[in-house]
A and B are shown apart, each in its own frame.
Chain A
Amino acid sequence: MIKVTIDGINTEVPEGTTILQAARQIGGEIVPPAMCYYSTLKNSGGKCRACLVRVAAGSAKDPRPMPKLVPSCITMAQDGMVVENITNPQVLETRKGVVEFLLLNHPLDCPICDQAGECDLQNFAYEHGMAKTRYEEERRTFDPIDIGDKIKLHMNRCILCYRCTYVADQLTDNRVHGVINRGDHAEISTYIEKAVDNEFSGNMIDVCPVGALTDKTFRFKQRVWFTKPLDAHRDCPKCSGKVVLWTKGNDVLRVTARKDQYGEVKEFICNECRYDHKDMSHWTVEGPRHIDRGSVISQNHYEKVDLVKLKKDVERQLKFQEGKRLEQTNNSAE
C-alpha cells in the first residue's frame, strides 16, 4: 500500500493505482472529471485533458514537483505523492480552457439532443465552463450518418474520446469503425459507411460521453428525465443480463447497461438484451435505479436517505475543509 495526499486528504491505495482511481476512492468533489478515460477499457484516457492535476511532490523518494500538469487518469500514484486538484487555481483555469476547447466545435443543441440530462460534457461544462463563448467562427459540421441499423452517429457532437473505438476493439471481433482524418476534421466513421452489426456494438452508445452515438430505437421518443429507470435482469446466454430499463408506465422505452456513479459501465450487455426485449414481461425487475442527486434525472425521485453515506460525506467534507485551512496557514506562514 502507498500513501497519497489529494487536496489535503490522505489515503492509502495499492501500488499501480492511478491518481484518478485514488481520488475516486476518496470520492466527492476532489475527483477530477474524466471525459475520455473509461476504467473498463484498456488504453483509454490521456486524451481529453479534463483530468489534468498538479503534482506538488512526486514521491517520498523524490519530492520534486512535476513540471507540467499531468493527466490523473493515466499517471500512477507514487508513495508520498502530493496532488493538487481543486485547491490549485492553475488546474481550475486549465480545466476551464479544456471545457472551452471541447465546446468550440460542439453544437449547443442540448434542447434537441437525446443525451441531454445524462451527458458528461453537459455536466462538465456546467461545473467548470464559462457562461459565454469567445468563439466567433463557424463550427465544423458533418452530416449525421447511420452506422448500423440501430446506431446513429452525429459527428458534430463527437469530442473524439476514442472510447467507442476501444469498445469495438476490445469487446468485439472484426472492428469496422475507427478514426479517419486528422485534427479537428478527424471523424469516427465506418469508412465506406459499412454497417456496424456485431453482437456487442450497442455498448458504443453507452460509452459515448456525449450525444454523438445514439440509440435509433429510442431517438426522440422521450426526454430522459421523464422516464423511470428500473434495475432489471434476465437470463441471457451471451451477457450478464443486468440492465437498466427506462420506462414510462408499462412501456420499456430503452434498455441500457448499468453505469456507476462516474458514468462507467462495468458489465457490458449484448444487443439482444438492448434492442429485442422491450417488454416488461421479459425482465425480472429488481427495483428503482439509484440516480445521483446531482442529476436532472433524479427529479421527483424519492429515496430513503442513506445515513451511513451521509455521515461519510460530511466527514470527508470536514476533512477537506480542514486540509484547505491548514494549507492556507502553511502558505501564510511561509
Chain B
Amino acid sequence: MGRKLLLKDINVPGIKSFEVYRKQGGYASVEKALKTMSPDAVVEEVKKSGLRGRGGAGFPTGMKWSFIDKKSEKPRYLICNADESEPGTFKDRFLMEYIPHALIEGMIVSSFALGAKTSYIYMRGEFRWIFPILEKAIEEARAAGFLGKNILGSGYDLELYVHSGAGAYICGEETAQIESLEGKRGNPRNKPPFPAIVGLYGCPTVVNNVESIAAVPHILNMGGDEYAKIGIGKSTGTKLISASGHINKPGVYEIELGLPVEEFLNSDEYCGGVWKGRKLKAVIPGGSSVPILPADLFLKNAKGEARLMSYESLADGGFASGSMLGSGGFIVMDETACIVRNLWTFARFYHHESCGQCSPCREGTGWMEKVLHRIEHGHGHMHDIDLLVDVAKKIEGNTICPLGDAAAWPVASAIRHFREEFEYHIKYPEKVMNPKHFEIEPFRSEKNLVMA
C-alpha cells in the first residue's frame, strides 16, 4: 500500500463539506503558515520539498515561485490552472469534485507565500457542475474566516474567485489563460516576458496546476524535507494518475513516484492488468501529447532496466525510446487497438483546438489530421508516412506555445515505433475499411514472414 496524501480522506463520508474536512485535519497548514511562518519560509519549504509542477512540464514549483518579480510594486496574482482538457487526463476534475477544500486550502497558503491578494481558479468551461461545488467551498471557507479580510487575525487579506472558461484546450496554456482571464481571445502570448514578470493585467503572476497547489498544504504540514523523502530522486512526493483505456480498473490513483510501472499496470491495487486477458500493445503514460511507447519499451527502457513511474525514468532514452510522465493521463491500449486510428483521433483534437495564431500549428495540425484520416480509411500512399514525419518536424519547436509540440510528438513517436502498422493500412486498404479492423484480426508484424 503506497502512501496517500491527496486522496487520504477520499472515502470519509461528507468530505466535500467544510466541517468534515476541518475535522480530518484540514486547514491546519493555513493556521501554521499564517501564524508561524513568513511567506519566504513557505516558498523555502516548497523548494526543499522538490515538488514539481503536476500539469505536465514538471518544472519545480518552488523555483517557479521564486522567479516572481518581488521588486515591482504592482499587485501579484496566483492563478490556479484548472483547465484540464488533455485527452486521457481527469485527475484535477476528480480532486475538485470530491475534495474541493483541498484546493481552496492550497490556494490560501500558496497565495500567502506569493503575496497575492487576489487569486483566481480558472476552470475549464466543460466543468460546469464543479463550478457551484467550488463556489460553495469558497463560501464555507469565508464563513469560517479563512478567506476575506484579515485571515485568522494575521493581517493577510485574500479574495478567491472561480472563473469558468468557455471550453478551449488552448486556455490551459498559461499565457492564453491569462489573456482569457483578462477577457480577451485566448491566444498565447509570445515569451519572454514570462508571466512571473508580466502576467495578468501586466502584473507578476504565477500559474500552477490544481494538483501542485493541492500538494502545498501537505508539504507545510509534514515539512519540505519529509515530503522530499517520498518518491525517488528528483521525482518527489505523490502523484495522481488517471488511468484509462483497456485495463480492468480505470480510475484516478494516487501513487508514490518511483512505483514500478509493471506494478502499477498489473497489481490489483491499481489498474488490475490489461482487460479480457489480452496482450498489452502500447501505453501513453502522460496524456495525449506525450510520445506513445510500445509495450516492450514501456516496461523496460532501451537498456533493459525496468521503468518506474517517475519523471526521469519515463523520459529515459529521450524521444527515441522514452516518453514523459506529463500530466499523468495513463492510456493503455491492448492488441486490438489501432494506433493509426488512435493517432487520427488525437490529431483531430489538436486540429480542432489549435488557436490559429501562428502558421505552423494552424495549418500543420489540419494537414496531419487530413493525411491520417486518409491513411486510416484506406486511401493513403507510402510517401504519406514520410510526409507526416516531415510536417511534425516542421511544427515542433517553431510555434508560440507548446500546443504545436503536443500535436507533433504523438505523430512522430507513433510512426517511429509503429511504422509497420501505417504501412499495413496502406497496403491493405480493403482490410481497414471496417473501423474495428484490429478487433477482428489483431495486427501481426510481417517482418519475419517468409515470402512464398
Contact = CB atoms under 8 A, between A and B. Distances in A.
A71 B190 CA distance: 9
Contacts of A178: 185
Interface in B373-415: 374, 387, 391, 394, 397-400
Interface string B313-351: 000000000000000000000000000000000000001
Contact of B367 (A50, A69, A98, A104): A104
Contact of B359 (A49, A134, A181, A185): A49
B363 interface: yes
**Residue among A50, A136, A184 with max Cβ neighbours from chain B (10 Å):** A184
B360 A49 contact: yes
A121 to B, nearest CB: 11
Contact of A101 (B168, B185, B190, B359): B359
Given A71-B190, A97-B394, A183 B360 contact: no
B354 interface: yes
- Give the size range of B's interface with the partner: 20 to 34
B148 interface: no
A137 B360 contact: no
A81 interface: no
Contacts, number: 94
B370 A183 contact: no
Contacts of A156: none
Contact of B354 (A46, A68, A69, A183): A183
Nearest to A97: B394
B357 interface: yes
B353 A183 contact: yes
Interface in B395-443: 397-400
Nearest to A135: B367
B378 to A, nearest CB: 15
Q: Is the interface of B mostly helix, strand, loop or mixed?
A: helix
B365 interface: yes
A160 interface: yes
B364 interface: yes
B190 A74 contact: yes
B202 to A, nearest CB: 13
A230 interface: no
Interface string A39-50: 000000111111
Given A97-B394, A182-B168, A183-B354, A46 B400 contact: yes
B357 A47 contact: yes
A52 interface: yes
B250 interface: no
Nearest to A99: B359
A93 B67 CA distance: 35
Given A102-B363, A104-B367, A48 B358 contact: yes
A50 B363 CA distance: 14
B265 to A, nearest CB: 34
A17 interface: no
A186 interface: yes
Interface string A98-142: 101110110000000000000000000000000000111100100
A2 interface: no
A168 to B, nearest CB: 14
A90 to B, nearest CB: 10
Contacts of A185: 356
Interface string A301-330: 000000000000000000000000000000
Contact of A69 (B170, B362, B374, B398): B398
A4 B174 CA distance: 32
A21 to B, nearest CB: 16
Contact of A102 (B168, B354, B359, B365): B359
B355 interface: yes
16 contacts: A46-B358, A47-B357, A94-B398, A97-B394, A97-B398, A98-B394, A101-B362, A101-B367, A135-B367, A140-B366, A160-B357, A179-B356, A183-B362, A184-B356, A184-B363, A185-B356
Given A49-B360, A101-B367, A184-B356, 20 more contacts: A47-B357, A47-B358, A49-B359, A49-B399, A52-B398, A68-B397, A69-B398, A93-B394, A94-B398, A98-B398, A137-B371, A137-B374, A160-B356, A160-B359, A179-B185, A179-B356, A181-B356, A183-B352, A183-B354, A183-B355
Interface of B: 168, 170, 185, 190, 351-360, 362-367, 370-371, 374, 387, 391, 394, 397-400
Interface of A: 45-50, 52, 68-69, 71, 74, 93-94, 97-98, 100-102, 104-105, 134-137, 140, 159-160, 162, 178-179, 181-186
